[in-house]
Amino acid sequence: MNTHDPSQNSAEHDGESAAQQGLTPATQLPAPATQLPVPPAKRLAGKVAIVTGAGCVGPGWGNGRAIAFRFAQEGAKVFAVDRSLASMEETQAKIHAIEGDISPYECDITNTDAVIAMVQACKEKYGAVDILVNNVGGPLPGGAEALSETDWDQQIDLNLKTVFMVSKQVIPVMAAQGGGCIVNIASTSGIRWTGAPQIGYAAAKAGVIQYGRVAAVELAKKGIRVNAVVPGQLYTPLVDKVLARTQSGNDTAQLLKRRQKRIPLPFMGDGLDTANATLFLASDEARFITGTELVVDGGMSARCD
């Protein structure tokens, strides 16, 4: 897999500069160096973290890759899970470059037996599961009339049922250890209209948020915290590889301009912003935080238009 320097990020496509595409500085990313604490504080030292969806559809900072990287940077032992080992090659390379601890594991987490085997493999490798990040998911276009029943079922299974199934297997492990932390990656699609009819995805992500609230109350007595990170319209490899095709006829520049208009802050975030929020909720700094959400959207969900 090709390497990618996010400081030279995807404001350029097909040899055109950002200015030639009509992009303003507001649609370009801040340098990652401004987002990472230097040096890392080792807030997760000795912790074992399962991160699902730790691969990425292309080079750069997808949410799962960034979460795995930041966790490793902060001292966690990362059990990185994805349905494709190839998609985790860059994740693994980035973590090895900082001498972090990562164990990639190939798993289709829509399959219950595969999930059971995955959690057991993590226990055998590291002896514990302290943190679970449920990050698997992805949207399909289609509104209340247009979305097929098959696609509706796929969206619920991929985006919501996976959270339930992986958590169900991890909760007894955490309870036996005396506690743990679950962070579910939701989406602003679960709390507001975000510009495209993707009703299955929106319903599933709303379910992820409410799942976390209910589970947090139930599991508090076991010492398990449950929270959600709610990313907004970030610039991740998914934009280039998937959303530009499904939402703007492969016109990435046009899609970025539309998305940026919804964001009050004068720049677009990336997967590292999701990762930093997830890191906080997984750390002991958030020990008294459970049953809530941290929205990472540059102020988009606070707008009424």
Q: What are 115's strand-pairing partners?
A: none
Nearest Cα neighbor of 135 from 236, 42, 44 is: 236
Sequence-distant (≥ 6) Cβ neighbours of residue 204 within 8 angstroms: 137, 155, 156, 158, 159, 160, 190
- Any idea which residue has 């799962």 for tokens? 64
Sequence-distant (≥ 6) Cβ neighbours of residue 66 within 8 angstroms: 270, 271, 272, 274, 275
Sequence-distant (≥ 6) Cβ neighbours of residue 293 within 8 angstroms: 186, 209, 212, 227, 228, 229, 230
**Could you give the 3-state DSSP secondary structure of residue 167?**
helix
Strands 101-106 and 77-82, by their bridges, are parallel
Query: What is the DSSP annotation of 230-283?
Result: EE-S---HHIIIIIHHHHHTT-HHHHHHHHHHT-SSSS---HHHHHHHHHHHHS
**Could you give the 3-state DSSP secondary structure of residue 146?**
coil
Choosing from 105, 126, 201, 211, which is the catalytic residue?
Answer: 201
Q: Is residue 235 among the annotated active site residues?
A: no
Active site residues: 201
